[in-house]
Structure 1
């Protein structure tokens, strides 16, 4: 049997410095389409873990805002370790482009007055959302990203 390598397990989580954007995958489909995956890391792995309510609210908020900033988003998914998100897009994209889109999306998070789809019809755990927490982490990350990428 072929040995499967999970890319995220190959990264040394003790040497990275969050926040950061990392291009962590690129696949060419049999028809020649390119799919690119990015690690949008909010907090330092194994040091600072975002609470579930903040992660969940960031997921709801950024799901729309990142799509307003960049085309062909396939998915934005929270990491199980609660230190960031994976962003998957169609096309061959670079870290700088994604960082600028992420910065713009986080600025919109900071201006938000409510979490979209925070109801039992549109969300499977609508009671566990923290707009306050989402803004807290977005604000911390935003300043550091601006210093690194703008």
Structure 2
């Protein structure tokens, strides 16, 4: 492969999760900036979230994160199930993104339902765990609140 994939250049054995990391941006031909952030929940190669928890978090954060952070294009789970990628128009500091994520996780923890949990709005609606998503949200929230006091 000749294309350099940014996430492949990071040494996954040296990072300490959870964290928020700006991992790149591009400028469009019209001059807009699109920025990508690594929202890491679990320690790479040590822990991975089960798919049901990841899927529930994806659905919950899709709305809640947009309430906290403007101009989000997408929030997508990582294939390794250790976190999510956030893509937004413009640039924000890692601290601004972390504060938005903290507020989002607080909303996840008190949620009593998963949005779009049906066959019309989701392609795999049976594979979700509200309990699991909330447990990971609690764990990550506690650690992020220590980091971003």
TM bucket, shorter chain: over 0.9
Per-residue CA distance 1:40-90 (angstroms, 9 max, x = gap): 000000000100000000000000000000110000000000000000000
| Other-structure match for 1:71 | 70
Q: CA deviation at 1:94?
A: 1.1
Per-residue CA distance 1:18-50 (angstroms, 9 max, x = gap): 000000011111110000000000000000010
Q: TM-score, normalised on structure 2?
A: 0.98
- Give the whole-Å Cα distance in 2 for the aligned partners of 1:21 and 1:76: 13
| Other-structure match for 1:83 | 82
- Give the whole-Å Cα distance in 2 for the aligned partners of 1:22 and 1:144: 15
| Other-structure match for 1:107 | 106
Q: CA deviation at 1:113?
A: 0.2
Q: Does 1:25 align with 2:31?
A: no
- Give the whole-Å Cα distance in 2 for the aligned partners of 1:83 and 1:3: 26
| Other-structure match for 1:146 | 145
- Give the whole-Å Cα distance in 2 for the aligned partners of 1:34 and 1:71: 14
| Other-structure match for 2:50 | 51
Q: CA deviation at 1:126?
A: 0.4
2:29 match: secondary structure = coil
Structure 2 unmatched ranges of 5 or more: none
- Give the whole-Å Cα distance in 1 for the aligned partners of 2:137 and 2:52: 13
Q: TM-score, normalised on structure 1?
A: 0.98
- Give the whole-Å Cα distance in 2 for the aligned partners of 1:40 and 1:97: 12
Q: CA deviation at 1:149?
A: 0.8
1:3 match: secondary structure = coil
Q: CA deviation at 1:92?
A: 1.6
Structure 1 runs, 4 residues or longer, greater than 3 Å off? none
Q: CA deviation at 1:3?
A: 2.7
